[in-house]
Amino acid sequence: MKQSVPDWIPGLVETADEAAKEEPSFTRVEVGEAILSFYAVGPDFERTKHAAERWLQRLKESLRDKRGFPRPEQGIYAEPKLEWLDWQLQASGTRLRWCGAFHLVLSAEDLAQGQGCVWQLDEYKRFARLWTSKVLEAFTFKPEEASGVIVDEKPFYWTLALDTDPRVEWTESHMRQYRKAFTALVRVRSEDTSIYTERAMEDILASNLAFTTEELQLLSRNTGLIYVAKSRFHQRNGFSYVRRALVNSNALVRAMRAAIILFRAELDGQLQSWLQQRLRSRRTKRLLQELVGYAQSASEILRQFDEWTFRMTHQIGHEQAVFQSLLKRYQIGELTQGLHQQLSELHSQISDLHNQIQSRRLSWLSLLVVFPAAYQALKLVQEIWPALQNLTSSWWK
């Protein structure tokens, strides 16, 4: 006897098929550029640049041995190159001295024609981890030129990809369908499986800074993905627009954040040291000069921050929205507010020290007033003493 199929089974199979369709994934990714963004702190631009060039040379030497190094299925990358950004912070009179940012760029040789290097996704993830480790290994070398130069130990890694497969209009529903694949690409250097939690994937989708269905701009911690339709790539003169609007802005805001944190740490130590010296030292005048000089340097740093922030926040459209979002993402407002509070304490110390010096000066002036008066009184006594002596003598007779 032939048994009939229960009514609920076909429905379950259809639901399972639909669920499977909701979790598509990338099998390949076409990477046009892989970019590592660094901030750098050094004595000045020239010495910092020279040190970075020495590190780049060391990296190129290490890449000559390519055994075991992942390679794309199609395409080839040109030699890595350094690109310095046009923002820099001058902080003479402080240990910070100079701060700037640069990219280490790996570009596909045929990128100008709209062709990146095609990778199996798992192989690209392996490449990203090995590539980063090789770069950081080369940058740990300390030639004489690198004396006093500090570079970012956790550079920001960007994957700039073209939409080989799939070609999708990125509506919210489509983004959710591919959220696991995007999470893998955004956090490409991570081997942590916790990146695939619902919360983590939702946070990555919510980070999208592109306001178009032809492009995605996703960020997470110190990694990011820009995924661009090829038609948009050609219309926008390659990656130049997203480089300027997001990659460069992100690097500069990170450099600003590093500068504020480093300077605040230095200022905090200086404030404690100056307070101790003020309480137990007699060289108050020289100490006041130090405090005033440092306050002037701090004011110059804030002026540069404010000038650059004003210029960037007065752009139009997408670039302004991206920059405002990055300022919030890296908590620049809170960090700057904390710096202003520290500077208020510095100015308070300057005021107290100035009052202390003034009080000492008034004490000396009082003595200078008293001493002449005492001298004049003594002189007067000396002048009239003979007469007083005759008078007292006659009085006692």
- What's the CA gap between 111 and 68, in Å, rounded? 25
In a domain, 131, yes or no: yes
**Of the given ranges (317-326, 339-348, 387-396), which has the lowest mean pLDDT?**
387-396
Other CB atoms within a 10 A radius of the CB of residue 243 amount to 20
My answer on whether 351 and 310 are in the same domain is: yes
pTM of structure: 0.80
> Number of folded domains in the chain?
2
In a domain, 178, yes or no: yes
**Would you say residue 292 has pLDDT above 60?**
yes
Q: How far is CA 389 from the centre of its chain?
A: 87
- Give the per-residue pLDDT at 16: 38
SS3 187: coil
Percent with pLDDT over 70 in the chain: 80
Instruction: Report whether 160 contacts 185 (CB < 8 A).
Output: no
Query: What angle do the packed helices 318-329 and 249-280 form, to 10 degrees?
Result: 40
In a domain, 4, yes or no: no
My answer on whether 196 and 116 are in the same domain is: yes
- Give the per-residue pLDDT at 175: 87
Three-state SS letters, 114-137: CCCEEEEHHHHHHHHHHHHHHHHH
Other CB atoms within a 10 A radius of the CB of residue 329 amount to 15
Instruction: Report whether 209 contacts 322 (CB < 8 A).
Output: yes
236 or 84, greater pLDDT: 84
- Give the per-residue pLDDT at 314: 72
My answer on whether 222 and 348 are in the same domain is: no
- Give the per-residue pLDDT at 163: 84
My answer on whether 176 and 265 are in the same domain is: no
**Of the given ranges (141-155, 180-194, 275-289), which has the lowest mean pLDDT?**
275-289
**Would you say residue 119 has pLDDT above 90?**
yes
In a domain, 98, yes or no: yes
SS3 297: helix
For tokens 């202390």, the residue is 356
- Give the per-residue pLDDT at 387: 58
Q: For residue 71, is it left (φ>0), alpha (ψ between -120 and 50) or beta?
A: beta
- What's the CA gap between 314 and 330, in Å, rounded? 19
My answer on whether 217 and 157 are in the same domain is: yes
What is the per-residue pLDDT across 332-389, written as a single tens digit (0 to 9) for each? 889 888 888 888 887 777 777 767 766 655 444 444 444 454 455 555 555 655 654 5
Across 281-294, average pLDDT: 72
My answer on whether 334 and 232 are in the same domain is: no
**Of the given ranges (10-24, 148-162, 195-209), which has the lowest mean pLDDT?**
10-24
Most confident of 104-108, 226-230, 321-325, 362-366: 104-108
pLDDT-based confidence at residue 1 (cuts at 50, 70, 90): very low
pLDDT-based confidence at residue 312 (cuts at 50, 70, 90): confident
Host domain of residue 104: 26-239
My answer on whether 260 and 158 are in the same domain is: no
- Give the per-residue pLDDT at 145: 72
Instruction: Report whether 334 contacts 256 (CB < 8 A).
Output: no
Instruction: Report whether 162 contacts 107 (CB < 8 A).
Output: no
In a domain, 389, yes or no: no
Last residue of a domain, one of 180, 213, 239: 239
Query: What angle do the packed helices 45-62 and 121-139 form, to 10 degrees?
Result: 130
In a domain, 352, yes or no: yes
Percent with pLDDT over 90 in the chain: 35
- Give the per-residue pLDDT at 14: 43
**Would you say residue 259 has pLDDT above 70?**
yes
My answer on whether 212 and 162 are in the same domain is: yes
- Give the per-residue pLDDT at 88: 87
**Of the given ranges (152-156, 207-211, 391-395), which has the lowest mean pLDDT?**
391-395
Across 29-55, average pLDDT: 94
My answer on whether 150 and 112 are in the same domain is: yes
Q: What's the length of the chain?
A: 397
In a domain, 321, yes or no: yes
- What's the CA gap between 189 and 35, in Å, rounded? 13
- Give the per-residue pLDDT at 168: 75
pLDDT-based confidence at residue 278 (cuts at 50, 70, 90): low
Last residue of a domain, one of 239, 270, 291: 239
My answer on whether 277 and 206 are in the same domain is: no
**Of the given ranges (4-8, 151-155, 281-285), which has the lowest mean pLDDT?**
4-8
Across 118-122, average pLDDT: 92
CA dihedral 297, 303, 305, 311 (to 10 degrees): -160
| Element spanning 181, H or E | helix 179-186
My answer on whether 212 and 297 are in the same domain is: no
My answer on whether 38 and 185 are in the same domain is: yes
| Closest CA relative to residue 64, chosen from 82, 79, 51 | 79
- Give the per-residue pLDDT at 360: 58
In a domain, 249, yes or no: no
